[in-house]
């Protein structure tokens, strides 16, 4: 069975003061769920150290929002995967649509970053998704397959299978416009079919999470489908109650909640 995962993408938000206040409240509410669902917080790079310390041994993992295409060297302003690993990161987002659109990261760039993250011993969270125009032109799967294929060409299916995939339709990110549970479920299912076609069983084994205007009010409906293994949360991850309620909604989708999850050891 695929263990659900909830990932907070703080994007370029936060301060030393607000991070601490946010995490204290999030941890109080979400720590008890740690055996039921995996959870990770992806703060901006300068706050990795602070967030690592606050997460400590709570069972929540540290993640980063990107990693360089290069292993080291003359790349001013970049951060390497090995540095992130050294900081205690377990997950790294790659190919977020804001990186692709605003910073012109190509499919090949994303694949190179994916490889760096894996080589450094972390789990890439590969973000894929179509624009509104692509969806309206019936190009949703063509776009996603192109994005996946670039990584498969770079690393092979075995390595892709070691990742988490985040389906984030560009038109639903930060817009308040959420994909319907049916659209999400269908797209996840089609991604699995595509991956199964590349390697038998690969799609079934992989965790695919949804991102795009997930809120406490729509989380339960989005997570209801067995195709949806969790969420990648932007804006709502900056509000302790919203994010905690999303986590609770994800945990409650599991038929058999781990009874140990109520303990605070």
Binding site for ligand 13P (CB under 6 A): 9, 96, 168, 173-174, 211-214, 232-236
| Closest C-alpha among 258, 203, 264, 246 to residue 5 | 246
- Among the options 98, 130, 145, 168, which is catalytic? 168
Question: For ligand 13P, which is the closer residue by CB, 32 or 181?
Answer: 181
The answer to whether 96 is a known catalytic residue is yes
**Contact predicate 234/215, CB 8 Å:** no
* Residue 210 CB, nearest approach to ligand 13P (Å): 9
- Among the options 96, 98, 145, 188, which is catalytic? 96
Question: For ligand 13P, which is the closer residue by CB, 32 or 43?
Answer: 43
The answer to whether 17 is a known catalytic residue is no
* Residue 207 CB, nearest approach to ligand 13P (Å): 15
* Residue 211 CB, nearest approach to ligand 13P (Å): 4
Q: Report residue 164 as tokens.
A: 């988490």
Q: Which residue has its beta carbon closest to ligand 13P?
A: 234
* Residue 199 CB, nearest approach to ligand 13P (Å): 27
Question: For ligand 13P, which is the closer residue by CB, 6 or 232?
Answer: 232
d(CA 229, CA 206): 9
d(CA 240, CA 58): 16
Q: Residue 250 to residues 137, 143, 146: CA-CA distances in angstroms?
A: 32, 28, 29
Tell me the Ramachandran region of residue 212: left when phi exceeds 0, alpha when psi lies from -120 to 50, beta otherwise.
Answer: left
SS3 64: strand
Catalytic residue list:
96, 168
């Amino acid at each position: 069975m695929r263990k659900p995962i909830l990932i907070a993408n703080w994007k370029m938000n936060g301060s030393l003061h607000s991070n601490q206040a946010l995490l204290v409240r999030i941890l109080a509410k979400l720590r008890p769920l740690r055996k039921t669902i995996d959870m990770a917080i992806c703060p901006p790079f300068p706050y990795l150290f602070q967030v690592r310390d606050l997460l400590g041994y709570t069972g929540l993992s540290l993640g980063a929002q990107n990693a360089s295409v290069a292993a080291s060297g003359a790349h001013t302003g970049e951060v390497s995967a090995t540095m992130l690993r050294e900081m205690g990161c377990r997950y790294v987002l790659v190919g977020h649509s804001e990186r692709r659109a605003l910073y012109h990261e190509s499919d090949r760039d994303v694949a190179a970053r994916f490889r760096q993250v894996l080589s450094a011993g972390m789990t890439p969270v590969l973000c894929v998704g179509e624009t509104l125009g692509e969806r309206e032109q019936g190009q949703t799967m063509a776009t996603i397959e192109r994005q996946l294929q670039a990584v498969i060409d770079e690393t092979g299916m075995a390595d892709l299978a070691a990742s988490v995939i985040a389906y984030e339709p560009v038109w639903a990110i930060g817009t308040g416009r959420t994909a319907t549970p049916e659209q999400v479920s269908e797209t996840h299912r089609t991604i699995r079919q595509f991956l199964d076609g590349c390697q038998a069983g690969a799609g079934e084994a992989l965790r695919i999470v949804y991102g795009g205007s997930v809120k406490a009010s729509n989380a339960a409906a989005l997570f209801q489908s067995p195709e949806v293994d969790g969420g990648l949360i932007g804006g709502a991850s900056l509000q302790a109650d919203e994010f905690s309620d999303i986590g609770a909604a994800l945990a409650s989708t599991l038929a058999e909640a781990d009874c140990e999850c109520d303990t605070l050891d």
